[in-house]
């Protein structure tokens, strides 16, 4: 069954139509990626799915309920969490304070403490730096913190916007490996990436976005072999 389904989704900024009539579905437990060039409309799609912007058309269903136009705050309560492009962490707060913010809607203190331990197990570097202000972390550590913070809301569905952006190759690998572990532990994931090669490697299905529309979709392995994808996104 689909955990998330967008049908005919449109996003506009004034006269600019950033997302035009796209259909995207993610089944419970899947790791699906959305790849595409800069400006293709990936972030706009994720923001609409996370309730950060109102779609100009179409419908979004979560768990078979219509959630179109519902606030991000309400969607977090329902188990949808976005790790935004550029990470959006609080630079002046400590690592631990940032992680606490991720659990702000929860009052099950014991489970929150268990989840904090879980984040520290996934990212030992964050445990070592729990008292450090987030603004002083490296780019990769900040990305870990952004993912960790999203995990603190105990999401059923995690939306990730270009988690590998601007990171050194070793850190890219570490972040993507951790995303795979989070997926294997049962969290459903929609991953937006410009790093198409890596995204196709760790996902089971993929959508390719071009100029606001979905141009191709299918099993990631098939898309990785598709000449159109190879030519446009895999450099060969």
Question: Which residue from 162, 211, 219, 166 is spatially nearest to 232, judged by alpha carbons?
Answer: 211
Q: Interface with ligand ADP includes 55 (CB under 6 A)?
A: no
Among 43, 153, 164, 178, binds ligand ADP (CB under 6 A): 43
Among 12-20, 61-69, 144-152, 195-203, the segment contacting ligand ADP (CB under 6 A): 12-20
Question: Which residue from 166, 6, 193 is spatially nearest to 179, judged by alpha carbons?
Answer: 193
Full DSSP string of 194-224: S-HHHHHHH-SEEEEEETTEEEEEEEHHHHH
Q: How many residues bind ligand ADP (CB under 6 A)?
A: 11
Name 133's bridge partners.
94
CB of 132 to Mg ion, least distance (A): 28
Among 5, 9, 36, 50, binds ligand ADP (CB under 6 A): 36
Region of residue 64 (phi > 0: left; psi between -120 and 50: alpha; otherwise: beta): left
Query: Which alpha helices (H) appear in the chain, and where do they start and end?
Result: 42-49, 72-77, 95-102, 109-122, 124-128, 139-151, 169-184, 196-202, 220-225, 227-233
Distance CA 98, CA 82 (A): 15
Among 4, 10, 30, 42, binds ligand ADP (CB under 6 A): 42
CB-nearer residue toward ligand ADP: 102 or 212: 212
Among 8, 23, 28, 39, binds ligand ADP (CB under 6 A): 39
Distance CA 232, CA 229 (A): 5
Q: Interface with ligand ADP includes 163 (CB under 6 A)?
A: no
Q: Interface with ligand ADP includes 13 (CB under 6 A)?
A: yes
Q: Interface with ligand ADP includes 166 (CB under 6 A)?
A: no
CB of 158 to ligand ADP, least distance (A): 17
State the binding partner of 13 from ligand ADP, Mg ion, none, CB within 5 to 8 A by kind.
ligand ADP
Q: Report the interface residues with ligand ADP, using CB under 6 A.
A: 13, 16, 18, 36, 38-44
């Amino acid at each position: 069954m689909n955990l998330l389904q967008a049908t005919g989704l449109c996003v506009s900024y004034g006269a600019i139509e950033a997302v035009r009539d796209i259909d995207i579905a993610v089944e419970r437990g899947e790791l699906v990626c959305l790849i595409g060039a800069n400006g293709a409309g990936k972030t706009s799609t994720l923001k609409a799915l996370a309730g950060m912007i109102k779609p100009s058309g179409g419908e979004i269903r979560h768990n078979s309920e219509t959630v179109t136009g519902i606030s991000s705050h309400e969607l977090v309560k329902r188990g949808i969490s976005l790790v935004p492009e550029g990470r959006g962490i609080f630079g002046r707060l400590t690592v631990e304070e940032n992680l606490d913010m991720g659990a702000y809607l929860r009052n099950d203190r014991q489970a929150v403490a268990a989840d904090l331990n879980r984040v520290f197990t996934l990212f030992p570097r964050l445990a070592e730096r729990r008292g450090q202000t987030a603004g002083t972390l490296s780019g990769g550590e900040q990305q870990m913190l952004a993912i960790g913070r999203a995990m603190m809301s105990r999401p059923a569905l995690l939306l990730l916007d270009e988690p590998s952006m601007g990171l050194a190759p070793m850190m890219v690998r570490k972040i993507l490996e951790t995303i795979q572990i989070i997926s294997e532990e049962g969290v459903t994931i929609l991953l937006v990436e410009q790093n198409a090669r890596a995204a196709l490697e760790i996902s089971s299905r993929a959508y390719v976005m071009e100029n606001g529309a979905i141009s191709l979709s299918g099993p990631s392995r098939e898309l990785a072999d598709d000449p159109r994808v190879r030519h446009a996104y895999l450099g060969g």
